[in-house]
């Protein structure tokens, strides 16, 4: 039996037999931090094409014994289906490796560069469960730990995991055995068919709670995925990804607080594509340019924003086709 759990910790301080990380044709976030600790160059373009892998002994440089890098597509092409495939494939790869592998750790993928947090995590867990429940899976680790440094996110992920176990009819804290009757999340399979709301706002630490609690929670409650795009995380054509996600969005919510030029650019593109757009701003913000003539929802604090958004989101996304 295998235990899947979430741990609020730093991946650089997490003991385990094998730490599984992606290689999205370059190092990003936790992948980069681990690569630096191992003395790998900051960017190793082309070293691991999608589907290839590399196992590296840490030789005491990290508390984990080995790191398994698995090649995946470029970051902007690493969506929900790719996350699901990655987690399942990583365990399949590890099954064929001749090394100690009773305890496995990995980071969460997707939310750090703008995908819907719940959907991305569900896709990742579903991929793990796919491998663990496959009749041909002869090897299973004792524990699989999803390591998350942010305490608030770790708490949310723990709640998501509990919801997944309830829906699947199993207790992931105690068992994850093969079964043909257990229902896995559809994240990563039907994600592209779900309505999504694109959020245009500064990717700023000070705005994080506004996004997570003021916007994302009511968006998810309205039955939609909530996405944004961190320009600093992408090394390729980030504008192409932004255009695609805006064009296919059921709604764009734009926080114009601070008059960020990128946010105004994204609002203009949404208008040009005819995508319904809802402007929000903190009370006291003066709108710029032609935006002045459009309705804007002003909020006093995060709770006020969530309270005002909730009924509007259900109304604005109700008639938008999938």
d(CA 71, CA 69): 7
The vertex-84 CA angle with 98 and 254, nearest 5°, equals 140
The vertex-114 CA angle with 108 and 120, nearest 5°, equals 40
Of 11-20, 228-237, 246-255, 275-284, give the lowest mean pLDDT range: 228-237
Sheet with 277-282, side-by-side order of all strands: 225-227, 196-200, 251-255, 277-282, 296-299
Is pLDDT of 300 > 60? Answer: yes
pLDDT for the residue 305: 96
Is pLDDT of 230 > 80? Answer: no
Is pLDDT of 253 > 90? Answer: yes
Identify the residue with better confidence: 230 or 156.
Answer: 156
Tell me the two tokens of residue 247.
Answer: 């064009």
CA distance readout (Å), 11 to 18, 20, 34, 86, 238: 12, 10, 8, 18, 27
d(CA 22, CA 31): 7
d(CA 121, CA 160): 8
Of 56-60, 112-116, 245-249, 276-280, give the lowest mean pLDDT range: 112-116
pLDDT for the residue 182: 62
Name the one residue in this structure whose structure tokens are 């790869």. Answer: 93
pLDDT for the residue 112: 81
Average pLDDT estimate for 36-59: 82
Nearest CA to 14 out of 58, 73, 49 is that of 58
Partners of residue 226 on adjacent β-strands: 197
Identify the residue with better confidence: 235 or 218.
Answer: 218
CA distance readout (Å), 180 to 86, 125, 162, 172, 183: 22, 17, 20, 16, 8
CB 256 within 8 Å of CB 267: yes
Is pLDDT of 179 > 50? Answer: no
Question: Residue 126 in 3-state DSSP?
Answer: helix
Is pLDDT of 177 > 60? Answer: no
Domains of the chain: 3-168 (3.40.220.10), 194-318 (3.40.50.450)
d(CA 228, CA 201): 8
Question: Residue 81 in 3-state DSSP?
Answer: helix
Of 71-80, 115-124, 150-159, 166-175, give the lowest mean pLDDT range: 166-175
Strands (E), 24-142: 53-57, 64-71, 103-107
Mean pLDDT, the chain, as a whole number? 88
0.85 exceeded by pTM:
yes
Handedness of CA 130, 123, 193, 78 (dihedral sign): negative
Residues 138-158 have pLDDT tens digits of: 899 999 999 999 999 999 999
Query: pLDDT confidence of 320, banded at 50, 70, 90?
Result: low
Judge residue 72's burial from the number of C-beta atoms within 10 Å of its C-beta, 0-12 exposed, 13-18 middle, 19 or more buried.
Answer: buried
């Amino acid at each position: 039996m295998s235990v899947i759990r979430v741990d609020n910790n730093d991946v650089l301080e997490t003991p385990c037999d094998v730490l599984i990380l992606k290689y999205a044709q370059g190092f990003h976030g936790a992948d980069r931090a681990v690569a630096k600790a191992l003395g790998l160059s900051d960017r190793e373009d082309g070293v691991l094409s999608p589907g290839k892998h590399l196992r590296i002994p840490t030789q005491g440089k990290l508390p984990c014994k080995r790191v398994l890098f698995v090649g995946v597509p470029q970051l902007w092409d690493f969506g929900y289906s790719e996350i699901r495939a990655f987690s399942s494939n990583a365990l399949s790869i590890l099954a064929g490796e001749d090394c100690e592998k009773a305890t496995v750790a990995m980071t969460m993928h997707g939310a750090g560069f703008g995908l819907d947090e719940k959907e991305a995590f569900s896709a990742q867990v579903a991929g793990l469960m796919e491998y663990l429940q496959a009749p041909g899976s002869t090897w299973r680790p004792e524990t699989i730990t999803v390591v998350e440094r942010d305490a608030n996110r770790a708490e949310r992920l723990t709640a998501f995991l509990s919801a997944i176990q309830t829906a699947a009819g199993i207790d992931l804290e105690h068992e994850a055995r093969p079964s043909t009757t257990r229902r896995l999340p559809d994240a990563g399979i039907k994600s592209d068919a779900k309505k999504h709301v694109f959020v245009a706002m500064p990717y700023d630490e000070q705005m994080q709670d506004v996004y997570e609690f003021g916007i994302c929670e009511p968006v998810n409650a309205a039955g939609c995925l909530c996405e944004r795009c961190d320009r600093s995380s992408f090394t390729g054509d980030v504008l192409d990804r932004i255009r695609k996600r805006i064009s296919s969005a059921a709604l764009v919510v734009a926080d114009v607080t601070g008059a960020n030029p990128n946010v105004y650019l994204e609002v203009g593109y949404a208008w040009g594509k005819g995508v319904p757009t809802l402007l929000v701003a903190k009370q006291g913000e003066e709108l710029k340019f032609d935006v002045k003539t459009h309705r804007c929802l002003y909020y006093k604090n995060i709770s006020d924003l969530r309270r005002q958004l909730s009924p509007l989101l259900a109304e604005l996304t109700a008639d938008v086709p999938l």
